[in-house]
Amino acid sequence: MNHHLVRVSNRQRRFRVVPDRVRAVCGGVLRALAAEPRAIDVVFVGSAGIRRLNRRYRGKDYATDVLSFGYSGQTDEVGLPWLGEMVLSPDVALVNALRLRTSPEREIRRLLVHGTLHLLGYDHATDDGEMERLQKLLVRRAFFLRTPPVAVLREAR
């Protein structure tokens, strides 16, 4: 096997998630930076779900946009090195997008890049700007710019 494995779960209802497009973005980061095939899981949750995880694992009682849980040294069920799990809240990404004056779609893709970098071991809190510089380069790449929408806000009924 010579490709990366990105498993996608959608556990929220507000956005329709397109797994193949999520795989394209995360896979683009992995192809750009990881020499050997890797596996990651990407889980989309609502703001209440990510708030619970943020409180439990980081001691911060608010809804954040993305959390990464690294599992270095483990393999997945097909024997690939399993980097870990990224949990992303499209609801929080929507709020961020409004604040940053960008599209929700672009913000969700940026968070996928950000979370994947964390799973690869980058840490913006300690790396003197390396992760931020790398993220800026990656969001200019074709896999980021040319991937159709990965998550689409559902119409209110």
Is 1's pLDDT higher than 50?
no
pLDDT of residue 68: 97
3-state helix, strand, coil in the chain (%, to 5): 45, 25, 35
CATH number for the 5-147 domain, one of 3.40.390.30, 1.10.3720.10, 3.30.110.40, 2.60.40.10?
3.40.390.30
- What are 11-39's pLDDT values in tens digits? 999 999 999 999 999 999 999 997 789 99
Strands (E), 11-156: 15-17, 39-44, 66-75, 81-88, 151-153
Is 77's pLDDT higher than 70?
yes
Is 156's pLDDT higher than 80?
no
pLDDT of residue 71: 87
What is the residue extent of each domain of the chain?
A: 5-147
Distance (Å, whole) CA 152 – CA 15: 5
Tell me which range, 30-39, 82-91, 143-152, is most confidently predicted by mean pLDDT: 82-91
